[in-house]
């Protein structure tokens, strides 16, 4: 079919029309997986002050060693430094102070001996401090001290604009004393399905009807990629019903409208017609399987991606086109899927379109092997549920023998199952 646009061409055309959304400031506790909109520099050294890494007794080790102290001997205890205090204590040669993990090192001190290596290994904070303590060994200068600036220096660039924030990053931001940070605004995506046959789950099946799967899978895919989803339900197969939901989507102040179904050549497929008459169809039909009737355009100036109604077509269309669009809107680099070369366990037929076939990939001693999960009909959602990968069969290929290597796009983060008895 010559009128079908290639997946790559379609993707670059669509991506060229999107760019990163503007920044907004939010609380760090809300910032998981959001994209940092500015570089973050440290306002101070970390640790902020030199402190002890153990519960123990601080000493001026270098002075004491010079003074000839070593081995088993007894020092006067001149102070007690719990964590969270500011100490004015000045430790002199031959003196010690009890100190807790994280507490600031007193001036003069340069080492801490853990309580276990002293005659006072007690943990009772209410017990009176001993007047002296015996050291069973002498700490080296620097031992158990976390010096100021050991981890990070003031002014150092710690997190780079464009970073997708992970829990440890947010811990770091808190360590810097920041409670609000600039992130790229979340894309707002309006979503609706279309079709008179669609019922919402929760009621008994009805003759000729099916349950609406796409509102769920697409909405959750969009959420997983970091979008805020405005769910608009189902448009009936009537021209005006489709216009009404597009209007609703427009009024919801959205960055992208995502729809499913109504884009093929059926007598009641109105989605494309509505776009033609109220906006623009910029692209229709991609050389892929599943997902061919994918439509890209706009409604009242808002970008629209209309995925085919078949649940697997909608899902694959999302992964191939909508996921990179959301990445771009959220200020991330839209990267191609991470693929893995796998060996086909059996022959595979394709129809010449770039195909994304549901498969199970497993690890064996000889590498990764793949087998299809069953009939590849675009309506067979269970074969997607069973799959852990999509095998990418390039355009133009109609059959591949067993033993051939193809690229597999892994679908989730679960470890790949290990094939127990390789054939
Ligand atoms: N004469 C032709 N017919 C079809 C062609 C074609 O080229 N010529 N293309 C086929 C392909 S490929 C696909 S994919 C579908 C896509 O059609 P539409 O996007 O217009 O979607 P519908 O026809 O409304 O629905 C297709 C199928 O999916 C079911 N569906 C729809 N919405 C949902 C939903 N939210 N949840 C679950 N299932 C849904 C619907 O009942 C249909 O069975 O067109 C082929 N036809
Ligand atoms: O594009 Mo359709 O998805 O092949 O069934």
Please work out whether the CB of residue 317 comes within 6 Å of at least one atom of ligand 2.
Answer: no
Taking the centre of ligand 1 as the mean of its atom positions, its distance from the CA of residue 65, in whole angstroms, is 83
Taking the centre of ligand 1 as the mean of its atom positions, its distance from the CA of residue 90, in whole angstroms, is 79
Contacts with 265 (C-beta within 8 Å, 6 or more apart), sequence order: 293
Q: Tell which residue, 299, 269, 294, has the closest CA to residue 284.
A: 294
Res 121: pLDDT: 85
Strand order in the sheet with 111-114: 111-114, 56-59, 96-99, 73-81, 132-135
Ligand at minimal distance from the CA of 237 is: 1
- pLDDT at residue 359 above 90? yes
For the residues 170-189, what does the mean pLDDT come to?
98
Task: Give me the chain's average pLDDT, please.
Answer: 95
pLDDT in tens, 47-57: 999 999 999 99
Q: Are 308 and 285 in contact (CB under 8 A)?
A: no
364: alpha, beta or left? (left if phi > 0; alpha if psi -120 to 50) = beta
Domains recognised in the chain with CATH numbers? 7-21+186-329 (3.40.980.10), 23-46+150-184 (3.90.105.10), 51-146 (2.170.190.11), 339-410 (2.40.340.10)
Cα 171 to Cα 183: distance, rounded to the nearest angstrom: 16
CB atoms within 10 A of CB 27: 9
Choose which residue among 214, 293, 376 to substitute to test ligand 2 binding: the one with the highest number of ligand atoms within 8 A of its C-beta: 293
Please work out whether the CB of residue 285 comes within 6 Å of at least one atom of ligand 2.
Answer: no
Contacts with 318 (C-beta within 8 Å, 6 or more apart), sequence order: 217, 218, 221, 222, 258, 307
Contacts with 16 (C-beta within 8 Å, 6 or more apart), sequence order: none
Q: What is the number of alpha carbons within 13 Å of residue 30 lying toward its C-beta?
A: 12
What's the pTM value of the predicted model, to 2 decimals? Answer: 0.91
Query: What is the predicted ipTM?
Result: 0.98
CB atoms within 10 A of CB 288: 24
Chain centre to alpha carbon of residue 214: 23
Q: Tell which residue, 324, 358, 315, 319, has the closest CA to residue 215.
A: 315
Taking the centre of ligand 1 as the mean of its atom positions, its distance from the CA of residue 314, in whole angstroms, is 9
Structural element, H or E, at residue 75: strand 73-81
Ligand at minimal distance from the CA of 377 is: 2
Q: Which atom of ligand 1 is nearest to the CA of 310?
A: 28
**Atom 12 (ligand 1) nearest CA:** 292
Taking the centre of ligand 2 as the mean of its atom positions, its distance from the CA of residue 259, in whole angstroms, is 15
Ligand at minimal distance from the CA of 197 is: 1
**Atom 45 (ligand 1) nearest CA:** 264
Q: Which atom of ligand 2 is nearest to the CA of 312?
A: 3
Q: What is the number of alpha carbons within 13 Å of residue 179 lying toward its C-beta?
A: 0
- pLDDT at residue 71 above 70? no
Structural element, H or E, at residue 182: strand 180-184
**Atom 4 (ligand 2) nearest CA:** 290
Structural element, H or E, at residue 209: none
Which residue's structure tokens are 């405005």?
230
Res 73: pLDDT: 83
pLDDT in tens, 221-270: 999 999 999 999 999 999 999 999 999 999 999 999 999 999 998 888 89
């Amino acid at each position: 079919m010559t009128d079908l646009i290639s997946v790559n061409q379609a993707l670059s055309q669509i991506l060229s029309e999107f760019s990163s959304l503007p920044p907004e400031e939010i609380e760090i506790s809300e910032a998981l997986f959001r994209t940092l909109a500015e570089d973050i520099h440290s306002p101070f050294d970390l640790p902020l002050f030199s402190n002890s890494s153990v519960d123990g007794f601080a000493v001026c080790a270098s002075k004491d060693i010079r003074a000839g102290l070593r081995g088993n001997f007894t020092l006067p205890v001149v102070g007690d430094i719990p964590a969270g205090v500011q100490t004015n204590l000045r430790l002199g040669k031959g003196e010690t102070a009890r100190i807790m993990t994280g507490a600031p090192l007193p001036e003069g001190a340069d080492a801490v001996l853990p309580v276990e290596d002293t005659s006072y290994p007690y943990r009772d904070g209410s017990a009176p401090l001993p007047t002296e303590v015996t050291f069973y060994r002498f700490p080296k200068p620097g031992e158990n001290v976390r010096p100021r600036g050991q981890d990070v220096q003031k002014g150092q660039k710690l997190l780079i604009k464009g970073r997708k924030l992970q829990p440890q990053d947010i811990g770091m931001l808190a360590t810097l004393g920041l409670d609000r940070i600039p992130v790229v605004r979340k894309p707002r995506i309006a979503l609706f399905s279309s079709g008179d046959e669609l019922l919402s789950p929760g009621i008994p099946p009805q003759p000729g009807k099916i349950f609406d799967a796409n509102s769920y899978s697409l909405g959750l895919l969009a959420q997983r990629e970091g979008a805020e989803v405005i769910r608009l339900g189902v448009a009936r197969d009537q021209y005006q019903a489709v216009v009404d939901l597009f209007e609703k989507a427009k009024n919801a102040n959205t960055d992208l409208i995502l729809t499913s179904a109504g884009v093929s050549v059926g007598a009641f497929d109105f989605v494309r017609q509505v776009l033609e008459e109220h906006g623009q169809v910029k692209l229709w039909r991609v050389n892929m399987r599943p997902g061919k009737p994918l439509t890209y355009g706009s409604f009242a100036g808002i970008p629209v991606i209309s995925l085919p109604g078949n649940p697997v077509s909608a899902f694959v269309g999302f992964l191939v086109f909508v996921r990179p669009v959301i990445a771009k809107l959220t200020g991330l680099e839209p990267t191609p899927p991470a693929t893995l070369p796998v060996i086909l366990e059996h022959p595979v037929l394709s129809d010449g379109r770039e195909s994304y076939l549901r498969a199970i990939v497993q690890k064996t001693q000889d590498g990764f092997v793949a087998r299809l999960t069953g009939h590849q009909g675009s309506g067979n959602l269970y074969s997607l549920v069973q799959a852990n990968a999509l095998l990418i069969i390039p355009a133009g290929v109609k059959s591949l023998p067993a033993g051939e290597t193809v690229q597999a796009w892994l679908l989730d983060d679960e470890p790949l199952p290990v094939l127990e008895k390789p054939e």
